[in-house]
Amino acid sequence: MNKTYDLKTIVLKMQKAEITEKEVYLKLANKIKKEDDKKVLLKIANEEEKHYNIWKTYSNEDIKPSKIKVWLYTLLGVLFGYTFALKFMENKQDAYNIDSNSEFMLELKKEIPDLDIIIKDEDEHERELLGLINEEKLNYVGSMVLGLNDALVEFTGSLAGWTFAMQSNDLITLAGLITGISATLSMASSEYLSSKNEGKDEPLKASIYTGIAYLFTVIILILPYALLPDESYVISLFIMLGLVIVIIAAFNFYISVANDLSFKHKFKEMAFISLGVALISFVIGLLVKQFLGIDV
């Protein structure tokens, strides 16, 4: 085997990863009320334990799971949903993402014939099982996207336009809160009526997810104007635009992991639209103040 790699170290690393993932699946399964999904997670946990025992035959050692990783992925599952947490964990577990025809993998397979069994399970069985998970949060991703997109495009543009039209953080915050809350109620009610007319299940939940996504975005974008001094409107604008990028990146990362989509494509598209509208609105606000001669 390649001298760069120590077989015992690799075996122990793989073994620890399997027992850690088993504990994560078990902990999340205990927090799930939906019986079908609970069964899926328990089944995968059993597969992880089987893999652990295979590695144990080569290491002849008992390994404890990583408490930090178990805590972290369990927390992610509670905060962002178990589908996201588990897919993120599987993506981070790159132990089997090495080219099966690479020199390293070919040499490792000679040392550990059972590796093919483990790889097959990881690539096929667990992926298929994760695909069966039907988490409620993901059923309303469309509503969340609608709320977030609308807030980012409309509200970013509004704040950018007000920045030089009003030149006052206090006034911008006041206008932002009034507009943001009104727009949240409008978006939520529109989503409810739209979902109901289209015959979708539970239109009320769809409207709630839309409203929460919109209101969350509104609050985050207003914060720089609310917290900084009244005359620091330019600094507030740049901080707000930075927060737009962060929100877009975070949300698209969540969606790309949970739904197996391309992060780069969705991020570029959403960022281009939101920042483009903000730039246009900023120029309009500047021109309105200049040509109408209105001093607020």
> Would you say 234 and 207 are in contact if contact means Cβ atoms under 8 Å apart?
no
More confident residue, 156 or 142: 156
Give the model's pLDDT for residue 163: 82
More confident residue, 85 or 225: 225
Q: What is the mean pLDDT of residues 183-189?
A: 84
Q: Which single residue is written with the structure tokens 């960022």?
A: 271
Examine the pLDDT at 139 and tell me if it is beyond 70.
no
Give the model's pLDDT for residue 226: 93
User: What is the pLDDT confidence band of residue 137, given thresholds at 50, 70 and 90?
Assistant: low
Per cent of the chain over pLDDT 70 is: 76
Examine the pLDDT at 100 and tell me if it is beyond 70.
no
Q: Per this entry, what is the length of the chain?
A: 296
Averaged confidence pLDDT in the chain: 78
Examine the pLDDT at 138 and tell me if it is beyond 70.
no
Give the model's pLDDT for residue 277: 72
DSSP 123: I
Per cent of the chain over pLDDT 90 is: 14
Among 67, 96, 72, CA closest to 85: 72
Give the C-alpha separation, 62 to 293, whole Å: 77
pLDDT digits (tens, 9 = 90+) for 247-294: 888 877 877 777 666 777 777 777 777 777 767 766 776 676 566 655
Helical ranges in the chain per DSSP H: 7-31, 35-59, 67-80, 82-92, 103-111, 115-120, 126-132, 136-139, 141-150, 156-166, 169-197, 203-227, 233-259, 263-292
User: What is the pLDDT confidence band of residue 93, given thresholds at 50, 70 and 90?
Assistant: low
Examine the pLDDT at 23 and tell me if it is beyond 90.
yes
Give the model's pLDDT for residue 192: 81
Give the model's pLDDT for residue 3: 43
Q: What is the mean pLDDT of residues 132-154?
A: 68
More confident residue, 119 or 214: 214
pLDDT digits (tens, 9 = 90+) for 208-251: 888 888 888 889 999 999 999 998 988 998 998 888 888 888 87
Q: What is the mean pLDDT of residues 59-88?
A: 87
Q: What is the mean pLDDT of residues 92-96?
A: 55
Give the model's pLDDT for residue 288: 66
Give the model's pLDDT for residue 70: 92
Examine the pLDDT at 32 and tell me if it is beyond 60.
yes
